[in-house]
């Protein structure tokens, strides 16, 4: 492996398995370091393509999303780092696919628990093809002031306190990602900071070893000293011992192997990492520390003394003139996300939508303040839900039952009415459910099912102004307006609409007042004197009875009633109800596998 520097200020990566936070942290680090281009060139999310919006400083950018590794590598040939956030189940396969791409030079595997046999195959392939693996079970790595992998070094605050926004003189390598953050901070306190830091991962078989990276640091001119943090278990540290003994490392190495406390336990101890388990005296922390000390590394007597050892080594190099002090720079301020700023009370921002009928922010959704569990426990029906979501209050049971009756009575009126006909024709054209439903709904209007609001509006105005049926009907006639809610193509004086009769019977039984309905019946009596089919239809019945429901319940002001009628609530009831029938007709045609509909030519009058 050896060679030298892995990353630079121009390094770009491909990020596998989209995770918003680590990618945004990489981009924030880029901005902090003054990079001109984002370090994430593309995202690979199997099964997805397009773009993902993220921030690069204050600027919002669109990062391409690819569905396959090959496509991403082809689209971004300069991206030579593959950051793999796949789960342990698929990390090996995706990592091998990346290693086989000629453009990929470094693969970082974040997942823990990758099967050891798979890891060995990855290591063998990488070594044979002169490629580098960081991980598995790693947080990644960082080159100060240039590039970082995923969540390496944690938050921006931690990165700033560790001075990782500009390069220092120390090369650092560790097995532990968590301890890396601790050591970045320690090193920043007593030296000019990190030049590059790598966490090789805590699995038994890491893709690259401690000595691999120390030998690499040895070839980087900017790295003046190395700090190594090992741990008990395995024999990785002994390869570094051999390198020191053979004189392959020419720069000071400060090292410590954690886990000396293991001897205090009577039985074998498994620490956090899979590889952190002593398999004999040679794998103990004490044995490794002693071997490193004998090989020439600076090894303190305890972890607590590690900081002092790092400081002393650095200061000695500075006195010898081998380290030139790094000029301090002030990093730019990272713009804070609006959500975070609002939560901390630093800013206030206007909302874009107002909602008063439901709230999904708590443990369970609420309809007009009523929790979903309460709706179920109290046995609420569809009418109750409509009363909450449409009228923002719990109406009496007779009101919600009337709503449900209206829905049942208006759900369908056969295949010949315009709405059902449209849905049937559309379904037979092979269109989907939504298209078939919408084609039927679009016919609803003043001539089909959309007269409920108008019927309520005109009946209410006439009644409230004290107009007699004669004055009302004749006044409408002079204006050239047909009376909404009156008249039917089929029904007549001798063939009444059963739906109207059922609604009237229910209202007489349950409503405290039916003054608007009685007025509508008087209007019907007058219109029937003119023509036999000018009966009160279902639109007129629902319109007038809904006025009685709103007024008689005592739960609405006059202004609220006028607003409900004006907005179109009552037509909404017909739209909701008839959707049931239109969906039924769509399913019926598809179930029957009916062919494309063509209207018969003999049913068309062709004329000049």
User: Any idea which residues carry the catalytic annotation?
Assistant: 273
Rounded Cα distance between 540 and 553, Å, is: 20
DSSP-derived pairing of the beta strands 358-359 and 366-367: antiparallel
Rounded Cα distance between 283 and 166, Å, is: 36
80-106 as b/e, with b when 16 or more CB fall inside 10 Å?
Answer: bbbbbbbebeebbebbbbbbebeebbb
Among all chains, which residue has been given the structure tokens 């078989």?
205
Question: What is the DSSP track for 382-424?
Answer: HHHHHHHHHHSS---HHHHHHHHHHHHHHS---SSSHHHHHHH
Rounded Cα distance between 248 and 250, Å, is: 6
Is residue 13 within 8 Å of 83, Cβ to Cβ? yes
DSSP state of 601: G
Q: Is 40 helix (H, G, I), strand (E, B) or coil?
A: strand
Q: Cβ neighbours of residue 436 under 8 Å, at least 6 residues apart?
A: 423, 426, 427, 582, 585, 586
132 bridge partner residues? 106
Q: Is 564 helix (H, G, I), strand (E, B) or coil?
A: helix
Cis peptide before 239 (omega within 30 of 0): no
Distances (CA, A) of 549 to 23, 399, 484, 513, 542: 57, 7, 19, 8, 10
Is residue 172 within 8 Å of 197, Cβ to Cβ? yes
What's the per-residue H, E or C state across 434-476?
HHHHHHHHCCCECCEECCHHHHHHHHHHHHHCCCCHHHHHHHH
Is residue 397 within 8 Å of 510, Cβ to Cβ? no
Burial class (CB in 10 A: 0-12, 13-18, 19+), 167: buried
Q: Cβ neighbours of residue 373 under 8 Å, at least 6 residues apart?
A: 364
Which tokens go with 483?
């009376």
- Which helix or strand (DSSP H or E) is residue 253 part of? strand 253-258
Rounded Cα distance between 110 and 123, Å, is: 15
Distances (CA, A) of 68 to 15, 47, 88, 529: 11, 8, 18, 76
Rounded Cα distance between 569 and 447, Å, is: 18
Which tokens go with 335?
């713009």
DSSP state of 336: P
């Amino acid at each position: 492996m050896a060679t030298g520097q892995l990353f630079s200020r121009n390094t770009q990566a491909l990020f596998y398995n989209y995770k918003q936070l680590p990618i945004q942290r990489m981009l924030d680090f880029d901005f902090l370091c003054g990079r001109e281009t984002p370090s994430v060139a593309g995202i690979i999310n199997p099964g997805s393509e397009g773009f993902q919006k993220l921030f690069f400083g204050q600027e919002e950018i669109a990062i391409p999303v690819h569905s396959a590794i090959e496509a991403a590598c082809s689209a971004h040939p300069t991206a030579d780092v593959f950051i793999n956030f796949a789960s342990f189940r698929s990390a090996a396969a995706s990592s091998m696919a990346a290693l086989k791409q000629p453009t990929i030079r470094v693969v970082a595997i974040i997942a823990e628990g990758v099967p050891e046999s798979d890891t060995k195959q990855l290591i063998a392939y990488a070594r044979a093809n002169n490629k580098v693996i960081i991980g598995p079970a790693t947080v990644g790595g960082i080159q100060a002031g240039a590039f970082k992998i995923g969540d390496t070094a944690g938050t921006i605050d931690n990165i700033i306190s560790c001075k990782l926004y500009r390069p220092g003189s120390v090369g650092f390598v560790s097995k532990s990602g968590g301890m890396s953050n601790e050591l970045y901070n320690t090193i920043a306190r007593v030296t000019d900071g990190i030049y590059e830091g790598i966490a090789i991962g805590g699995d038994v078989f890491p893709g690259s070893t401690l000595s691999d990276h120390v030998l690499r640091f040895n070839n980087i001119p900017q790295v003046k000293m190395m700090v190594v943090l090992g741990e008990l278990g395995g024999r990785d540290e002994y390869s570094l011992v051999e390198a020191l003994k053979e004189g392959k490392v020419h720069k000071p190495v400060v090292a410590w192997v954690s886990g000396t406390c293991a001897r205090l336990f009577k039985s074998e101890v498994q620490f956090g990492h899979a590889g952190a388990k002593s398999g004999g005296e040679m794998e103990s922390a004490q044995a490794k520390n002693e071997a490193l000390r004998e090989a020439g590394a600076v090894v303190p007597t305890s972890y607590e003394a590690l900081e002092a050892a790092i400081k002393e080594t650095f200061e000695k190099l500075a006195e010898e003139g081998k380290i030139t002090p790094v000029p301090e720079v002030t990093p730019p301020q990272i713009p804070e996300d609006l959500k975070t700023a609002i939560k901390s009370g630093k800013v206030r921002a206007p909302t874009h939508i107002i909602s008063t009928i439901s709230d999904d922010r708590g443990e369970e959704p609420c309809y007009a303040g009523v929790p979903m569990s309460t709706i179920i426990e109290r046995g609420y029906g569809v009418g109750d839900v409509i009363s909450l979501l449409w009228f923002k209050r719990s109406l009496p049971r007779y009101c919600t039952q009337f709503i449900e009756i209206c829905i049942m009575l208006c759900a369908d009126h056969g295949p010949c009415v315009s709405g059902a006909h449209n849905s049937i024709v559309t379904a037979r054209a092979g269109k989907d459910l939504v298209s078939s439903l919408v084609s039927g709904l679009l016919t609803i209007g003043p001539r089909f099912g959309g007269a409920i609001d108008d019927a309520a509006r005109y009946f209410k105005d006439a009644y409230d102004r004290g107009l007699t049926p004669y004055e009302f009907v004749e006044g409408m006639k002079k204006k050239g307006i047909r009376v909404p809610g009156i008249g039917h193509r089929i029904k007549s004086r001798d063939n009444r609409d059963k739906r109207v009769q059922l609604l009237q019977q229910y209202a007489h039984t349950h409503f405290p007042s039916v003054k608007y309905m009685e007025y509508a019946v008087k209007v019907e009596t007058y219109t029937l004197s003119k023509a036999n089919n000018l009966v009160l239809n279902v639109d007129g019945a629902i319109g007038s009875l809904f006025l009685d429901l709103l007024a008689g319940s005592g739960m609405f002001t006059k202004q609220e009633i006028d607003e409900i009628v004006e907005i179109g609530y009552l037509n909404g009831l017909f739209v909701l109800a008839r959707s049931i029938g239109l969906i039924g007709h769509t399913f019926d045609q598809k179930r029957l596998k009916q062919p494309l509909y063509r209207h018969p030519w003999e049913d068309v009058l062709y004329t000049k």
